[in-house]
Amino acid sequence: MIRIVNGTDSELHTFYELLRIYFPAYETSGELFLIIDTTAENKHVTLIIDDDQYENTFGGTDEYELKRKISAWIASEVDHPNKEPSLWGSLTGTRPIKFLQKHRRELGDAGVMKLLTKDYLIDPDVASLLMRIAKRESALIGENWGRGYSLYIHIPFCPTRCEYCSYPTISSDNKEAVRIYMDYLLKELSFVLNKMGTSPETIYIGGGTPTSIPVADLEKIFQELRHLTPKEFTLEAGRPKTITTELVDMIRDYPVTRISINPQTMVDRTLKAVKRPHSAEDILTAYELVRKKTDLQVNMDMILGLGDETVDDVDYTLNKLCALEPENITVHMLSLKNGSKLFENNSVFVKNTRSMESYAMGFLKEKGYHPYYLYRQKRILGNGANIGYAKDGTESIYNMVMMEEIHTVVGVGMSATTKLVDSRGNTIRKFSNFRNMRDYTDRFSEVLKKKAKYLGDVL
Ligand SMILES: C[S@@+](CC[C@H](N)C(=O)[O-])C[C@H]1O[C@@H](n2cnc3c(N)ncnc32)[C@H](O)[C@@H]1O
Ligand code: SF4
């Protein structure tokens, strides 16, 4: 158990995250206490890890600085055999590039590098990578993304459930659920488009596996969107067996520009182990079909750390993917989240994920792919990160602006999040639809009421 005693809400949040990064095993077993005694002049901090105790006193009154100093002490000075290594120093949070961009404006590039490496103790190579991505992002999206909006449409259905997945998904075999969901989704979509009045800058249909519902149902969504003129329109197709001739022929009639075909790994043994019921061959077939019939840009998702994979397996998958020359490859590090079978069964091999991550980066660089967006997740193996790579000029705008929260994204469908951002890129409101289908449909009037109330704020 990890417990923070006497902390403010903000301390509780930051230190819990940090302690979970450095001492992940204590989330479920063992005893780890952080006790904070605050006086007018200082904070006295005691960290108890099982039978070991560490203490320190931090002077000053600036809450933010105090928090940073305590974090740096935990990251660099506390030395315990159960402490996991991390390249991220004392930086927590899922959006490091957003953090960097904010400080770049105040401190300039050299100042930010110093802040990252000296104050936050981030590994210099990681800091340089973050800076490269931040610069690339600034060059690609410029200053104007505070205006307009993007649209995210969520389809929670999947053919089956993969072992590592923690998303709230529903079986696409449940025809009645698909029918009911579509009814409500289309109502919400049409309400949002009416309310917004203009075309979104980008559209993303994600899931789940959107292409696991019948093509005719998916087409109903596209028909709602057919008059729009987005700069980019991504369809998550995920599972290769859902990419049929019928599907590809249908989407050619609509303004889709990008499709995601996700192997996760090209190693058949691993696909079987994580209960992803397709083969590497199925990926090749789906890819060829899309290439033959469309000029869509293709993204392919990978996950590092699945099954008993080693760096050799990562090399195998990267070779297979790069031979296909997709425009984008997104490399995820396995994260072990509540709600996934892997987490429940505690069945993950501890492995050298850091060498997999750096191997993938080196390999992709050689093949002409540049990292252009990055985010961290909770309970990610080896304190790694998820990194989106793209060939020059094919970077997904949606991924960048959504991750940096510098652009309004209106989410439609069960569990979809809406973020309203003002013209200077400040988030003014964030809210999510209900996370399960029963609430989403039974309390649908509340969903619309919220949208009616807040969407006006961005117009
Ligand atoms: C929202 S999921 C949906 C994708 C689609 N349903 C599929 O499975 O191909 C987007 C991506 O997140 C990644 N992902 C999902 N669960 C993950 C986990 N536990 N750890 C790391 N990455 C994960 C996968 O690469 C997946 O393609
Ligand atoms: S990983 Fe993708 S296909 Fe597998 S269950 Fe999760 S959302 Fe569905």
The atom number, within ligand 1, closest to the CA of 335 reads 20
Place domain 145-450 in its CATH homologous superfamily. tm_1862 like domain (3.80.30.20)
- CA 17 to centroid of ligand 1, rounded, Å: 22
pLDDT tens string for the chain (459 positions)?
899 999 899 999 999 999 999 998 898 888 999 999 998 889 999 999 999 999 999 998 888 899 999 999 999 999 999 998 899 999 999 999 999 999 998 999 999 999 999 999 999 999 999 999 999 999 998 776 778 999 999 999 999 999 999 899 999 999 999 999 999 999 999 999 999 999 999 999 999 999 999 999 999 999 999 999 999 999 999 999 999 999 999 999 999 999 999 999 999 999 999 999 999 999 999 999 999 999 999 999 999 999 999 999 999 999 999 999 999 999 999 998 777 888 777 666 667 888 999 999 999 999 999 999 999 998 888 888 999 999 999 999 999 999 989 899 999 999 999 999 987 778 889 999 999 999 999 999 999 999 999 987 554
Q: How far is CA 259 from CA 108, 199, 328, 425, in A?
A: 37, 20, 10, 28
Q: Which residues make beta-bridge pairs with 238?
A: 261
- CA 151 to centroid of ligand 2, rounded, Å: 21
Mutate to test the pocket of ligand 1, among 165, 260, 353 (most ligand atoms within 8 A of CB): 165
Question: Is 237 in contact with 248 (CB distance < 8 Å)?
Answer: no
Question: Is 292 in contact with 249 (CB distance < 8 Å)?
Answer: no
- CA 343 to centroid of ligand 1, rounded, Å: 15
Tell me if 328 CB under 6 Å of ligand 1.
no
Which CATH architecture fits 2-76?
Answer: 2-Layer Sandwich (3.30)
Q: Whose CA is nearest to atom 1 of ligand 2?
A: 165
Tell me if 234 CB under 6 Å of ligand 1.
no
3-state secondary structure of 175: helix
What gap in Å lies between CA 283 and CA 269, rounded to an integer? 15
Tell me if 353 CB under 6 Å of ligand 1.
no
**Could you give the residue range(s) of every CATH 3.80.30.20 domain in the chain?**
145-450
Tell me if 261 CB under 6 Å of ligand 1.
no
- CA 311 to centroid of ligand 2, rounded, Å: 24
Tell me the H-state helices in 175-310.
Answer: 175-196, 215-225, 245-251, 268-273, 280-293
The atom number, within ligand 2, closest to the CA of 239 reads 3
**Could you give the residue range(s) of every CATH 3.30.160 domain in the chain?**
2-76
Q: Which residues make beta-bridge pairs with 32?
A: 2, 49
Tell me if 264 CB under 6 Å of ligand 1.
yes
Q: Which ligand is nearest to the CA of 235?
A: 1
Is 0.85 surpassed by the pTM of this model?
yes
- CA 288 to centroid of ligand 1, rounded, Å: 22
The tokens describing 8, both together, are 């403010």
Phi-psi group of 420: left, alpha or beta (phi > 0 → left; psi -120 to 50 → alpha; rest → beta) = beta
- CA 352 to centroid of ligand 1, rounded, Å: 20
Name the nearest CA neighbour of 4 among 39, 47, 59, 41.
47
Residues with a CB atom less than 6 Å from ligand 2 = 158, 161-162, 165, 167, 169, 207-209, 238-239
- CA 391 to centroid of ligand 2, rounded, Å: 26
Q: Whose CA is nearest to atom 25 of ligand 1?
A: 301
Question: Is 3 in contact with 32 (CB distance < 8 Å)?
Answer: yes
Tell me if 164 CB under 6 Å of ligand 1.
yes
- CA 274 to centroid of ligand 2, rounded, Å: 11
3-state secondary structure of 36: strand
Q: Which ligand is nearest to the CA of 211?
A: 1
Measured in whole angstroms, how far is the alpha carbon of residue 283 from the centre of its chain?
A: 23
Tell me if 335 CB under 6 Å of ligand 1.
yes
